[in-house]
Amino acid sequence: MKKTSENKLKWIECGYSLFASIGPEALNIERLSGLVSLSRSSFYYYFGDLVNFEHELLKTHIMHYKKFGQLMRDYVHFEQLFSDEIMENKIALAFHVSCSLTSQ
């Protein structure tokens, strides 16, 4: 069971990072399959189709962005915004920007 959740997480992390850096056109099952070293049938097992996968990515993004938003609310000085927390959440920020650009 642990391997199953690890493989699903591989798909999500890879898709999330690609979407963040390239945008929605990066979400190609063939490309993702090669990057995570898992079969395409594994993708369909976990997500059914690309639409369900995109929903999983959005749920992941909401989780990351809420965490990041809480961190930002805790800062008092602007200089603190350029701390380790920004670097730790750079993929979530890039994902958010990619979502914003595709909705325009």
Tell me the DSSP string of 70-98. Answer: HHHHT--SGGGGGSHHHHHTHHHHHHHHH
What are the domain boundaries of the chain? 2-102
Give 3-8's long-range contacts (Cβ < 8 A, gap of 24+): 7/36, 7/38, 7/42, 7/46, 8/46
Closest CA to 16 of 97, 100, 99, 91: 91
Predicted confidence pLDDT, tens digits, the chain (104 residues): 467 789 999 999 999 999 988 888 889 999 999 999 999 999 999 999 999 999 999 999 888 878 777 766 666 555 555 566 666 767 777 776 677 656 55
CA distance 63 to 44: 23
Looking at domain 2-102, what is its CATH homologous superfamily? Tetracycline Repressor, domain 2 (1.10.357.10)
In this prediction the pTM is 0.72
